[in-house]
Structure 1
Amino acid sequence: MTKDTAIITGGARGMGLATAKVMAADHHIVLTDVDDKKLATAVKEIESTGGTAEFVVADITARAEVDAVFAAAATAGGLRAVVHAAGVSPHMASAEKIIEINAVGTINVTESALTVADEGFAVVNVASIAAQMVPGIMIPKRAFRHASTDLDTFRRKLLAAAGRTGRKMAAAQAYPISKAFVVWYSADQAARFGATGARILSVSPGSFDTEMGRIEEQGGAGKLTEFAALKRFGRPEEIAELLAFCASAKPGYLTGVDILCDGGTKAGMGLKEMIQLARQA
């Protein structure tokens, strides 16, 4: 039986790899990331459980490289879904890199996806609870609209917003801004995808037991679990099941929304707790 194909960005590890393993049950998987050795290992893991996979090394901040990933998927045939899990957090990169990878990278992946979107196609962009943990006044939504018209202005305005509290805190501010953009952009693009019968949405994970999650444990990810209904880190396979479901054909009327998967963290936090967490971070 011929399988549909799915692209997973950030597929060498963490949520991306966990999602690839779930989707490999009924999809041929095209993984992309920047580390060829980890990608090769990820492909072997998928194949060891009976799935089929290949990888393409690509930097999502370069549109031409993203297009090459989609070209490879087109060769495989039947491209039906994209789970865009690639991203970096405050302790992994500068504010500039965070904006470039998380925000501009999402634009590149989404625009490439739109060129092949058709009936039943789906894009799931991974955002973050961080997008919902900062006051709205800190999010430069008016600048988001430049994403479709002027990327240089878009970058400049997002970086300016990230630097309002000083250079030292710029990366910490750039992260929620970039993820708020992912949420906004996924909703903003829903009509364009809908015109072809396709879907696009975002999922916002809370604190998960991934390499990135543990890197950020002392920067707030660990503290968040103290406010959660489920006082633990989420497991990669738990978010993977949600991402895979959203990308599947089953929720065919689900588009233009963000789904928060945080173990009940936001439900346990008010403004006082958010301010307390921000000060500690």
Structure 2
Amino acid sequence: MSDVCVVTGGGSGMGLSAALQMPKDKIIIVSGRTISMLEKAVEQLKEGGHEAYACTCDTSDRESVKKLVEFAASKGTVRNVINAAGMSPNMAKPEPLLRVNALGTVYINQEFSKVMPRGSVIVDISSNSAYALPKILLNKKTFALAETDEAKFIAKCIKTSNLSKTDYQKSGFAYALSKSFVVWYAQKCAFEYGQKGIRVCSLSPGLIATDMGKLEEKEGASMLEYAAEKRMGTPDELGFAIATVADERNGYLAGVDVLVDGGSTNGKSFRK
């Protein structure tokens, strides 16, 4: 059977760029909520020499994720999963944001790991916002509830987010929490799934010139002051980084977060 690469959030931006940079011998499946966007992505992938298919999926809905897994498995052996679906602070209030970014990662990892063979890989896309919050606010006991009591997990994260004042700040807080969760959960999965030969890691972009990134450009512009080149990243740069991490040949890269943010997280230490 042919090898399959699934890219959630693959209709545009860095997800689509990563799909375009995967090997041509893989069947590419792009998923998202908007079929018209996915169909355009499939056209672009086919023009680039890929065999590609679209499958709508709401990653915040486990049953929707199960249908995506079933569709992907019907096309071949699922070797690569890139979970790039997500929402940013300007796109949603805290609860839907947490459901997509955090619980969506749980559903994707759990359901796809059931059908993936040894030598396969899952890459969960986080954000350098995962590094923005004080560690005292990152309660791992709360994170663990995502697998045992989803309602309590959401409630506790929202309670923490409500420490902020404005609606945008609350969403921003929830976003940072959700992305910190992604880094933690990918590491947790790496050591659980590693016993089955499935490699898992996360990748954290900085401010990227995608449609989503441009929504956050005003609020996130201060990050660029600390970047080495004082600029946003491009979708192609992030797509290449993601595709490289997702490549099976990178087989010893597991249980870590790959920070691809132009140096902005570490730049404060070197700012003159």
Q: Secondary structure at the match of 2:231?
A: coil
How far is the alpha carbon of 1:167 from its aligned partner? 5.7
Letter in 1 for 2:158: L
Counterpart of 2:266 in 1: which secondary structure? helix
Q: Which residue of 1 aligns with 2:51?
A: 52
1:199 is matched with 199
Alignment map for 1:1-281 (pairs within 5 Å): 3-166=2-165, 168=167, 169-220=169-220, 222-270=221-269
* Letter matched to residue 215 of structure 2: I
Question: Secondary structure of 2:196's partner?
Answer: coil
Kept after mapping to 2: 8 A contact 1:217/1:223: no
CA deviation after TM superposition for structure 1 residue 272, in Å? 10
Q: Normalized against structure 1, the TM-score is what?
A: 0.92
Structure 1 residue 16: Cα displacement: 0.6
Assess if the C-alpha contact under 8 Å between 1:140 and 1:177 holds in 2.
no
Q: Deviations over 1:92-145 (max 9, x none)?
A: 110111111100111110111221132111000000000002211232322001
Given that 1:35 and 1:57 are in contact with CA atoms closer than 8 Å, whether structure 2 keeps it comes out as yes
3-state SS of 1:251 partner: coil
Which SS does the other structure have where 2:99 is aligned?
helix
CA contact (8 A) 2:80 2:246 kept: yes
Instruction: Indicate the SS of the match to 1:98.
Output: helix
Instruction: Write the distance in 1 (CA, Å) between the matches of 2:132 and 2:24.
Output: 35
Matched residues in 2 for 1:227 and 1:68: separation?
42
One-letter amino acid of the counterpart of residue 43, structure 1:
V
SS at match of 1:227: coil
Residue aligned with 1:189, SS = helix
Amino acid in the other structure paired with 1:135? P
Aligned-partner SS, 1:82? strand
Structure 1: which 5+ runs fail to align? 274-281
Per the TM alignment, residue 270 of structure 1 is displaced from its structure 2 partner at its CA by 4.6
Deviation, 1:223, is: 2.0
Any conservation in 2 of the 1:24–1:46 contact (CA below 8 Å)? no
Find the residue that maps to 2:170 and give its secondary structure: helix
Paired residue type of 1:125: D
Aligned length: 271
User: Identity percentage over the alignment?
Assistant: 35
Inter-partner Cα distance in structure 1 for 2:219 and 2:258: 23
Structure 2 gaps, min length 5: none
* Structure 1 runs, 4 residues or longer, greater than 3 Å off: 270-273
* Cα drift, residue 25 of structure 1: 2.1
Q: Quick one: distance in 2 between partners of 1:109 and 1:7?
A: 10
Alpha-carbon separation, structure 1, partners of 2:50 and 2:6: 14
Distance 1:188 1:197 in 2: 14
The answer to whether the 8 Å contact 1:117/1:193 transfers is no
- Over the residues paired in the alignment, what is the CA RMSD in angstroms? 1.7
Cα separation, 1, equivalents of 2:226 and 2:252:
32
